[in-house]
Structure 1
Amino acid sequence: MDGAPGETIGDQAADDAALIAGLTERLRLLRIVSQQRRYHGRPTPRLPSKRAIIELLNDIVATLYPRHFGPQDLAPEATDTFIAQMLASIRLRLADLVITELMLAPDADATASHARGEALSRAFLERLVIIRDLHDTDILAAWQGDPSAMSLDEVAFCFPGVAAILHHRIAHELSRAGIRMIARIMAEHSHSVTGIDIHPGAKIGPAFFIDHGTGVVIGETAVIGRNVRLYQQVTLGAKSFQDDGTGALVKGQPRHPQIGDDVVIYAGATILGRITVGQGAVIGGGVWLLEDVAPGAMVTQARPMLRFAPG
């Protein structure tokens, strides 16, 4: 006869416990090997929390634009109090995250990392005024550049390109201060919610407008001037990657385009390498570009021809 139901359930629980114990041990061994490879035998440091970084990014946005992204019931007379409270919270949380990132360095010193984290978090708060001022020019550029935009509020709420640019301006401030992991996590979160991939190292001038936006890629060393407009699926990428002679890639080298003021780049254009697109140039849709463009020039694809098959 088969065993009693209670015995079967007990055997299954024992099997599950043995399976879980074995898997836990195997994962522990893999984790140890990975940590030894990354940290070279020193104590395993604490990692920044991705969730905390995303929450911080959202709170920074709410602080910069409290009427749009702050609490739903925020009264006008309570706005300054809300902002003051948020700024205090942002500074403390950012300092903790920065210190955590700095402590990942092989030669990290706890005292120096703590002092730098505190200083950088205060300096970042000072830059929020500049970020807000710059992003107001982005919102205005979108409203002026898109006939479908009925109001500045609609632009601020609804345009994914505008959201991606604001996220970038926040992440860029951290990247330029050397806080690259936190900045990159913010950038990749923005990529996931907007479909627009902007490396936090890219330098972008005021009044920048990405129309529609899905599939736009802007590389780490790209430089974009004032009053530039991009459409969907534009790539400002690298043509090739330099190595050090042993096959290892050389990092941080300028390898992405420089886009001058007042340039328009239409949908699907791919611009690769450290080339310069001069002021006022227009790059047509679907263009594949590997060389400099003079100021004021217009670059287009060869015009397609319509031919009819013999009847």
Structure 2
Amino acid sequence: MDKKKIIEEIKKHKKQPNLKFRLKKRAEEFTDRLFYTLFDAETNVKSNLNLLENDFEELAELACWDECTSCAEFWGIYVTKLPEILEKLNLDAHATLSNDPASNTIEEVYLSYPGFYAIAIYRLSHELYKMNFPLVPRLMNEHAHKITGIDINPGATIGDSFHIDHGTGVVIGETAIIKNNVNIYQGVTLGGLYVAKDLKNIKRHPTIENNVTIYANATILGGETVIGENSIIGGNVWLTKSVPPNSIVSHTPEIKIKTVVNE
């Protein structure tokens, strides 16, 4: 084995000078510190904000490869958004407490509900996404995805009092719009009709109006698909067309009774 030759070959094929996996680790640490700053009663907000600013400066250095852009300046804007984000997240937590009969206390929601955690990281990353801060919002949501099994693209637009019950397998695409007081269950997909790179700047995921409930494993696809307000979408439903307000959409399985013949 020619070790020197192997090293040279590996170096030759490492063609991404900006690909530093330290960025992924730092983004995860930043995400955890944000969460504790907003919710943990024993975390000092003032000192943690200073630490977060330092974290952010490092993220900006690692993620912003355009020398003409100073991403570190985004922190001053982002930090002013945190009280509003926290206010929205408190509404989300209370939506879970109100809608899930298995939830006993609000503390239980904050500490143990994967749906709430995924929504929290989505809201925290969404503001950075709107600022065009590169890569970090996606890394934040992938951190939540890894922990919860819930995949919310930071580009999605989600209104107040959002509740995800159980949550495993939920997928919400980049251009999805979810309005207020929406409840969804595990395995729900809000996706595109098909995948093509030229759809990058086109709305390709559905719109969910106010007060909609979507039950487990329902799939709703397409940028022109709108689920009207006050509707209920049953489990395992597959939709590629709009549904008017106040609808109930169900999937009715065919049931056959097997007859056992006694010989």
Per the TM superposition, whether the score is higher than 0.5 is yes
RMSD of aligned alpha carbons: 1.7
Separation in 2 of the partners of 1:212 and 1:195?
Answer: 10
Instruction: Find 1:127's aligned residue among 64, 67, 81.
Output: 81
CA shift for structure 1 position 252: 2.6
Give the number of the structure whose alpha-carbon radius of gyration is greater: 1
Q: Tell me the TM-score normalised to structure 1 length.
A: 0.79
For 1:212, the equivalent position in structure 2 comes to 166
* Stretches of structure 1 lacking an aligned partner (at least 5 in a row): 1-17, 36-43, 68-73, 243-247
SS at match of 2:78: helix
Separation in 2 of the partners of 1:195 and 1:303?
Answer: 27
Separation in 1 of the partners of 2:62 and 2:45?
Answer: 25
Is it true that 1:195 corresponds to 2:149 in the alignment?
A: yes
CA change 1:130–1:45 in 2 (3 A) is same
Separation in 2 of the partners of 1:253 and 1:229?
Answer: 26
For 2:104, the equivalent position in structure 1 comes to 150
Contact residue 63 and residue 87 of structure 1 kept, 8 A = yes
Contact residue 95 and residue 120 of structure 1 kept, 8 A = no
CA change 1:257–1:28 in 2 (3 A) is same
Separation in 1 of the partners of 2:114 and 2:229?
Answer: 26
1:11-160 to structure 2, matched below 5 A, reads 19-31=2-14, 34-35=15-16, 44-45=17-18, 47=20, 49-67=23-41, 74=42, 82-103=44-65, 105=66, 108-109=67-68, 113-114=69-70, 117-160=71-114
CA shift for structure 1 position 306: 3.8
For 1:7, the equivalent position in structure 2 comes to none
Structure 1 window deviating more from structure 2 (173-182 vs 231-240): it is 173-182
Q: Tell me the TM-score normalised to structure 2 length.
A: 0.93
Is it true that 1:251 corresponds to 2:200 in the alignment?
A: yes
**Identical pairs, percent:** 34
CA shift for structure 1 position 215: 0.4
Q: How many pairs are equivalent?
A: 259
CA shift for structure 1 position 310: 6.0
CA shift for structure 1 position 133: 0.3
* Stretches of structure 2 lacking an aligned partner (at least 5 in a row): none
